[in-house]
Amino acid sequence: MKKKVAVLGGGAGALTTAYYLSRTPELREEYDVTVYQVGWRLGGKGASGRGPNGRIEEHGLHIFWGFYENAFALMRECYKLMDRPLTMPLATFEEAFRPRDLVAMEDFVQGTWQRWVIPFPSNTRRPGEGLEETAAWQVIAGLLDVARQIFDRLKGGLSLSAERGPALIIEEVVLAVGTRMIQQAYELASNAAQTQAAALESLGGKILELMREFLRWLWAQISHLIESNFLLYQLTVGLDFLMANLIGIVEDGVLVKGFNSIDGVDYREWLRKHGATELTLRSALPRVIYDAAMSMVDGDPDRQSIAAGSALRAMLRIGFSYQGHVAYEFAASMGDTIFVPLYEACLRNGVHFKFFHRVEEVIATRTPGSRPRVTRLRISRQVDLKDPEAGYDPLITVKNLPCWPDKPLYEQLVQGEQLLRENIDLESFYTPWKNVAEQVLEEGKDFDQVVFGIPVASVRYLCPTLMALNPAWGRMVDEVPSIQTQAFQLWLSKDQRALGWTVGSPMLTCFVEPIDTWADMTSLLPREGWAQPNAPLTVAYFCGPMPGPAIPPPPTEHDFPAQQKELALQNALSFLRNDLGVLWPKCTQSKNPPVFDWTLLVPSNEGVGEARFTTQYWRANVDPSERYTLALPGTAKARIRPDNTGFENLTICGDWVDNGFYIGAAEGAVISGMLAFRALTGRKLHISGEAFWYR
């Protein structure tokens, strides 16, 4: 008899688990998988919908970094399994993901915003294919090579002292820090007679003091020049930043002990400990990981904090282990590009989907002398389907592409007219909607195993018996933090150059808080449904953290989402009144700079001034399941592994579990789903990077 698996939630971790549980005929003979999903669509924090004019509406900015090896491998399988006709949009994996090589950062130096624009070189590796494990020497060699390149540029732009002291240091230090140390790293790490630990220990003993001496000399030579010369500032701060990371890695034995060994301290404090100057610590280079990971306590930009090991792992992965390109954007929305293929692949594999099924409680009990088990699941059915036998068909088509709508397909629902009339949000934790029925699923009858894939901020409301029976669950709920986020999107009548941006198509961060991140997403316009001749020429996504309560309010606070969405609106308007002109110098009103020119917004609602903004899209992500999971110092140890939940028939998945990565990202969620598959089945499944990065 098949084992019945109840998968709770429809985010990346949950769907990864469902996919791998149904991946082969043998697994399909052994497991009967059902996904229970609130509302009408899948995707979790990566869900998207299609609004007016077929426009894409996202929770925020989503990309895949080039190191997302496991996520890319999963998507390759899904696209192959879908086997779409080549005449369809996004018919193949290669069509679905587009390279992004340009990363930009804003840096507030000497009272003005200055810009870092970093073009990352491509390589011949293919994302999700030919997965190779990283070696410690490769990390050190990569850092040293970049440091050498920076110093070569710095040396070429300076008239350095010809005195014997500095000249000798240049000769000995530059060569040692560059070619000689890289060669030594290769030789030591590849010597079969030495363990990698011994190799790195030997390497560290030889170079640490030399690097410190080099940095002391460098700052003495040029510290008085760098703040008046931004290029010199960039090169010197960049070199100092790289060296502090390298010194810390070697001195703390990070590549031997693992990144978690330094996760108890904040990243900037760790850099300071290993010699980074205060100028470097204030710069955009360390700040970028705080903003990219929205790592602010309670969403407060003045309380930036991130665990050193998690930050270092992510930055090294982004910069040194990407496949092909540093990042990839989606050729449509994240929902269309990622979650439609996952849904269709799972559906083809026989996975059942129960849309409009809201999890109310996971109930566990303990029999004397045995481990506790999940024995019941309380699940509310939110609506009645007009055709229960056929089930709910969730997708629409926009320009021949299957997509998730921004609202339920009311014509399939008995209560559809009422939901539309009352503007009910069935996805909201705070909805006042009265569900049509509640059912209690029982172990042994309705399920045998449970996969809990709903984010950690929901656990206190959904799993009180788990917290009561196992203190580790209470500790996880108390110590693994999450925050609210906010986002808005603009559609404009001018292209980027006409708006004043002339440096490619960037992803930019480290800008004003709380709207600190922007990406040009104009490439999505062909996949939207705008009618000519009044179609927009630019699409821009903005997002950032949102200050708010550390613990989300209970579901009885029905007005909470509307209050927070109004705050997100005011934050967006403030940004447009005061700050966007820094990025787009030609987007402001000629007679009233720096205020944004509201007439640029598409479509026109014939409103005046800020009233035009009501045609755009903005949101506050405040539901417990929408909150962004943080990797604050010392909190990783409170996370629970999918194979160690303390409950006999329960595993977990999501970016909040102990998946080895910790920063909120699709790759961490996919890894968690793979770990959940292992925990549930006892089968092997290779996880790329596990042996080195995530151990």
Buried b / exposed e along 428-439 (16+ C-beta atoms within 10 A): bbbbebebeeee
pLDDT at 185: 46
Q: Which residue, 320, 345, 371, sits at the end of a domain?
A: 320
340 inside domain: yes
Q: How far is Cα 162 from Cα 170, in angstroms, rounded to an integer? A: 10
Residue 51 inside a domain? The answer is: no
Q: How far apart are CA 569 and CA 526, in angstroms?
A: 27
Strand pairing class (97-100; 48-50): unpaired
| Dihedral of alpha carbons 361, 367, 372, 375, sign | negative
DSSP assignment letter at 10: -
Six-digit token string for 644: 């160690």
If you average pLDDT over residues 590-608, what whole number do you get? 91
Question: Of 693, 631, 637, 695, nearest to 662 (Cα)?
Answer: 631
Q: Tell me what the mean pLDDT of segment 554-582 comes to.
A: 98
Residue 621 phi, psi dihedral angles, 5° rounding: -90, 95
- Residue 345 CB contacts under 8 Å (≥ 6 apart), including other chains: 19, 77, 78, 81, 82
Residue 417 domain flag: yes
Q: Are strands 482-492 and 97-100 parallel, antiparallel or unpaired?
A: unpaired
Average confidence (pLDDT) over 497-514: 94
The residue segments making up the domain with residue 359 are 3-45+332-480+638-681
**SS3 per residue for 144-210:** HHHHHHHHHHHHHCCCCCCCHHHHHHHHHHHHHHHHHHHHHHHHHHHCCCCCHHHHHHHHHHHHHHH
The pLDDT tens digits for 302-313 are 999 999 999 999
Query: Comparing 12-16, 605-609, 689-693, which segment has the lowest mean pLDDT?
Result: 605-609
Say if 524 falls within a structural domain: no
**Does pLDDT of 470 surpass 80?**
yes
CA nearest 74: which of 278, 436, 273, 341? 341
Which amino acid is present at 4? K
Cα distances from 84 to residues 42, 78, 87, 576, in angstroms, run 20, 11, 8, 42
Task: Judge whether 577 lies within some domain.
Answer: no
Residue 216 to residues 166, 277, 291, 359, 565, Cα–Cα distance (Å):
11, 10, 30, 59, 50
What pLDDT does 606 receive? 80
Return the number of other C-beta atoms located less than 10 Å from residue 8's C-beta. Answer: 25
312 with 339, same domain: the answer is no
Angstrom distance (rounded) from CA 424 to CA 616 = 20
Mean pLDDT, all residues of the chain: 91
| 651-695 pLDDT tens trace | 999 999 999 999 999 999 999 999 999 999 999 999 999 988 887
Please check whether residues 365 and 311 belong to one and the same domain. no
Q: Residue 514: inside a domain, yes or no?
A: no
Task: Report which DSSP code applies to 114.
Answer: E
Dihedral of CA 457/667/449/355: which sign?
positive
pLDDT digits (tens, 9 = 90+) for 141-200: 778 778 778 877 776 655 444 443 444 344 444 444 444 444 454 454 444 334 554 555
Structure tokens at 532: 């000519």
What is the percentage of the chain residues whose pLDDT exceeds 70? 91
348 and 207 in a common domain: no
Rounded to a whole number of angstroms, the CA Rg of the chain reads 26
Integer CA distances (angstroms), 674 to 17, 458, 517, 664, 689, in order: 6, 22, 30, 16, 13
**127 contacts 323 by C-beta, under 8 angstroms:** yes
- Strands 327-330, 97-100: parallel, antiparallel or unpaired by DSSP? antiparallel
Q: Quote the CA–CA distance of 264 and 651 in Å, as a whole number.
A: 26
DSSP state of 61: -
**Torsion sign over Cα 308, 311, 313, 316:** negative
Is 105 within a domain?
no
Mean pLDDT across 324-341: 98
Distance separating alpha carbons of residues 109 and 366, to the nearest angstrom: 60
How confident is the model at residue 566, as a pLDDT?
98
Mean local confidence (pLDDT), 63-86: 96
352 and 431 fall within a common domain: yes
The C-alpha atoms of residue 632 and residue 652 are separated, in whole angstroms, by 21
Does any domain span residue 669? yes
Strand segments (E) across 22-94: 31-37, 48-50, 56-58, 64-65
Per-residue confidence at 220, pLDDT binned at 50, 70, 90? confident
Residues 314 and 358 in one domain: no
Measuring CA to CA, which residue among 16, 13, 75, 22 is closest to residue 352?
Answer: 22
- pLDDT tens digits along 235-291: 889 989 998 998 899 889 898 899 999 999 999 999 999 999 999 999 999 999 999
Taking alpha carbons only, the member of 520, 615, 607 closest to residue 53 is: 615
C-alpha 236: how far from chain center: 30
Instruction: Return the structure tokens found at 236.
Output: 């010197």
Distance CA 654, CA 16 (A): 10
Supply the pLDDT for residue 157: 58
Predicted TM-score (pTM) of the model is 0.93
Residue 93 has pLDDT above 60, yes or no: yes
Place of tokens 């579990």: 657
Confidence tier at 206 by pLDDT (50, 70, 90): low
Q: What pLDDT, on a 0 to 100 scale, did the predictor assign at position 133?
A: 72
- Write down the residue that tokens 């490439």 correspond to: 523
195: left (phi over 0), alpha (psi -120 to 50) or beta: beta
Residue-level pLDDT at 375: 98
Shared-domain flag, residues 316 and 359: no
Reference 240, options 121, 108, 151; nearest CA is: 151
- Same domain? For 248 and 270 the reply is yes
Q: How many domains does the chain have?
A: 2
Q: Are 336 and 476 within one domain?
A: yes
Q: CB-based contacts of 378: which residues, under 8 Å, 6+ apart?
A: 359, 360, 361, 363, 438, 439, 440
Q: State the Cα torsion 321-108-149-326 to the nearest 10°.
A: 20
CATH number of the CATH domain containing 40: 3.50.50.60
Shared-domain flag, residues 316 and 432: no
245 and 345 share a domain?
Answer: no
What is the per-residue pLDDT for 212?
73
Of the candidate ranges 53-57, 200-204, 617-621, 635-639, the one whose mean pLDDT is the lowest = 200-204
The letter for the amino acid at 322 is Y
Least Cα distance to 466 among 481, 448, 452, 482 occurs for 452
The answer, yes or no, to whether residue 418 has pLDDT greater than 70, is: yes
Confidence of residue 430 (pLDDT cuts 50, 70, 90): very high
Task: Decide: 663 and 314 in contact? Cβ < 8 Å.
Answer: yes
- Whether the CB-CB separation of 101 and 325 falls below 8 Å is answered with yes
Cβ pair 526, 398 in contact under 8 A: no
Say if residue 343 is in the same domain as residue 439. yes
Hunting for tokens 């320009």 — which residue is that? 399
Q: Are residues 141 and 186 both part of a single domain?
A: yes
Q: Are 305 and 483 in contact (CB under 8 A)?
A: no
Predicted confidence at residue 172, as pLDDT, reads 43
